[in-house]
Amino acid sequence: MSNVVQQKEKYSPQANRYIKVQLFFWSAYFLVNLVFVGLWGYYSHTGLLIFLLLSLLLGFASHGLRKLYHRFAHTMSALQLGLHLVWLLPATALAVQTLLHAVIYIAITIVGPSDNIQPISAGSFIGYSMNTCIMLMLWSILYLFHREFKQRRETEIAHWRDQVKLRDMELQFLRSQINSHFLFNSLNNLRSLILEDPHAARQGLSDLATLLRGVLQADNKVTVSLHEELEWVRGYLALESLQLEDRLHCHFAIDDALLEQKVPPLLLQTLVENAIKHGIAKRRTGGHIRITAQRVSPSEWQLMITNPPADSPGKHAGNSVGLNNTRARLAAAFGDQAYFELLLGDPVIARVDLPLHTACEK
């Protein structure tokens, strides 16, 4: 397993690019050093070797730092990271310089003293270390900024990918909005109604068309006006009354001032359908469904659907997929400004609190 990971790391284009950048950065450092030394007239072959060694050591040290950043940087805040760099960078610089001086010392004891090399003092050691520390700091800043930038971009891509997924789910939900049972029962009832009352059958077909158009339109809208939604709900209820006839009684109490308020498409329809499916249709004698829209505060209005419970209430615990979907769609449209609640009692009450949009906001 670790082999595979290593191979991946070795041959992935990213790792490849990292190695190239590292080579370029530290080669440049090496060359710049040479140029400066040359300009001041201190050039020597021994010096060249030392600079080469230093660049190599720094290359390895920075690679070590990268591993540390990779492992720990994402768990820290910017301040924490900064504080850690304050000790980490000088320590690394000291380690590099100590190693370098140790190598030079060993070389001198083996090969003999070179006249090109100045004697080492505490002052020069600290000076070299500071120089190294500055280089490592520069490297770290570049690396960390690059890393941050890359992460942000990846997060953004992931965010958009999630958005697309969410949208897909929404579409699927909307497609399933038209309950197949309802659709085919309606068609069957209309078929029968054509013989009994052609005029009513024609009206029924128009209602079905309105509702289907609503479902299709709802696909590409986050919200629609209450006015539009109510039209779909009325169409839906008209079709349900073909099925339920005198078992279904509907009452609307809508504040006309709210007709232009926004609701997620088919939200009310879903709740009304629930009220019928789990309430009125499951009662031998049927019942009354009440739909109210009223202003409850200067900044809020409320949709309420009231219906009697089923004759023998089932296990419908109020956390079905449909209800969760309702919550999700409200959140998508209004964030935490909207609130949905289903009270399973007698009567069953579905309540949606929505933010009030004033005319000038539109």
Partner 1 sequence: MKILIVDDSRLARKELIGLLHSHSHYEIIGEASDVQTAVTAINELCPDLVLLDINLPDGTGFDVLEQSSHTPGVIFTTAYEEHAVQAFEYNALDYLLKPIEQDRLDAAIARMESRAKHVPFNQPEKSLDAHIFIREGERCHFIKFREISRITVEGNYVRLFFGALSAPVPRSLNYVEERLDPQAFFRANRQEIINLNFIERIEPWIGDGLMIVMQDCTEVIASRRQARELKQRLEF
Q: Which is nearer to partner 1, 151 or 188 (CB)?
A: 188
By C-alpha distance, which of 274, 281, 286 is closest to 350?
Answer: 274
**In the bound complex, what is the minimum distance in angstroms from residue 78's beta carbon to partner 1?**
56
By C-alpha distance, which of 329, 328, 292 is closest to 307?
Answer: 292
Q: Which is nearer to partner 1, 191 or 251 (CB)?
A: 191
Tell whether the torsion through CA atoms of 7, 9, 14 and 15 is positive or negative.
negative
**In the bound complex, what is the minimum distance in angstroms from residue 281's beta carbon to partner 1?**
6
Distance in angstroms (rounded) separating the CA atoms of residues 70 and 110: 40
Q: Which is nearer to partner 1, 54 or 193 (CB)?
A: 193
**In the bound complex, what is the minimum distance in angstroms from residue 275's beta carbon to partner 1?**
15
Distance in angstroms (rounded) separating the CA atoms of residues 51 and 42: 13
Integer angstrom CA distances of residue 125 from 38, 99, 102, 331: 21, 12, 12, 63
Integer angstrom CA distances of residue 191 from 33, 47, 239, 281: 92, 100, 12, 21
**In the bound complex, what is the minimum distance in angstroms from residue 336's beta carbon to partner 1?**
37
Q: Which is nearer to partner 1, 2 or 312 (CB)?
A: 312
224's CB contacts (< 8 A; 6+ apart) are 217, 218, 262, 263, 264, 265
Q: Which pair of structure tokens corresponds to residue 325?
A: 């979907």
Query: Do the Cβ atoms of 96 and 128 come closer than 8 Å?
Result: no
Q: Identity (one letter) of the amino acid at 338? A: A
**In the bound complex, what is the minimum distance in angstroms from residue 271's beta carbon to partner 1?**
20
Q: Which is nearer to partner 1, 93 or 281 (CB)?
A: 281
Q: Which is nearer to partner 1, 48 or 200 (CB)?
A: 200
**Residue 297 belongs to what H/E stretch?**
strand 287-297
**In the bound complex, what is the minimum distance in angstroms from residue 311's beta carbon to partner 1?**
6
By C-alpha distance, which of 239, 249, 266 is closest to 308?
Answer: 249
Query: Do the Cβ atoms of 252 and 291 come closer than 8 Å?
Result: yes
Residue 362 is given by DSSP the state -
Q: Which is nearer to partner 1, 33 or 186 (CB)?
A: 186
Name the residues that contact partner 1, by CB under 8 A.
Answer: 180-185, 187-189, 191-193, 195-196, 242-245, 247, 281-284, 311-312
**In the bound complex, what is the minimum distance in angstroms from residue 245's beta carbon to partner 1?**
6
